[in-house]
């Protein structure tokens, strides 16, 4: 999965820490959906302290005014957050809990083929944003889904937890549709009735329907 991660993070980008991302998220009017790995989201105190640290850092980097108004590249990212992500890809454990050590990608735009912003969340609480990324962002995610369906996961190294599955989400006219993919299996996630797919291509076609 490391080579897949490099596809996104090696592009020209804005890099933010968790604290800085939390400060930007505060201005996103609920559009922020991505996790903040190093911040306890259940603690209002922890979140508030992170926002204050992030705001100070953004000001030093000339990405925000002293009152917290984001400017420059950070403002361009905020503008494209819109009403939330259009699609997402992440790895989960047996209980469908998010695995920060795996590839986590969010795509923002009018459609999956018209992506205005890509967002990669790294395990250490680093966020990589790319405004106007090159075409093929959605294709790259579906290619990953097909590889997982065909071959499963490589053995996790450095003591990292082994992924049990990948989740692929799309927000469309019918709401959120997601599929859970493992080697040789693809199923609708969170569906009222079980839905199984014969291939990753069939699964990705369903989330776009």
Inform me whether the pLDDT recorded for 209 exceeds 90.
no
pLDDT at residue number 117 = 95
pLDDT at residue number 178 = 95
Q: How far apart are CA 37 and CA 198, in angstroms?
A: 34
Residues 98-116 pLDDT 10s:
999 889 999 999 999 999 9
Check residue 163 and report its DSSP letter: P
Q: How far apart are CA 171 and CA 206, in angstroms?
A: 12
Ordered by start, the domain boundaries in the chain are: 2-208
Tell me the average pLDDT across 172-180. Answer: 91
The pTM assigned to this predicted structure is 0.90
Residues 113-122 pLDDT 10s:
999 999 999 9
Q: What are phi and psi of 129, to 5 degrees?
A: -110, 135
pLDDT at residue number 173 = 82
pLDDT at residue number 135 = 92
């Amino acid at each position: 999965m490391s080579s897949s991660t490099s596809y996104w993070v090696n592009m020209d980008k804005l890099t933010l820490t968790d604290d800085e991302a939390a400060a930007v998220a505060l201005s996103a009017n609920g559009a922020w959906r991505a996790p903040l790995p190093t911040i306890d989201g259940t603690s209002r105190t922890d979140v508030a302290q992170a926002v204050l640290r992030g705001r100070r850092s953004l000001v030093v980097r000339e990405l925000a005014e002293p009152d917290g108004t984001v400017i420059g590249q950070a403002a361009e990212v905020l503008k494209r957050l819109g009403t939330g992500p259009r699609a997402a890809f992440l790895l989960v454990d047996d209980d469908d809990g998010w695995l920060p050590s795996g590839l986590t990608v969010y795509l923002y735009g009018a459609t999956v083929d018209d992506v205005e912003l890509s967002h990669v969340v790294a395990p250490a609480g680093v966020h990589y944003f790319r405004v106007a990324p090159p075409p093929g962002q959605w294709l790259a995610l579906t290619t990953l889904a097909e590889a997982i369906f065909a071959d499963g996961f490589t053995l996790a190294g450095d003591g990292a937890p082994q992924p049990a599955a990948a989740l692929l989400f799309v927000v469309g006219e019918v709401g959120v549709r997601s599929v859970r993919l493992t080697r040789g299996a693809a199923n609708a996630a969170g569906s009222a009735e079980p839905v199984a797919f014969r291939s990753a291509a069939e699964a990705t076609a369903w989330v776009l329907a």
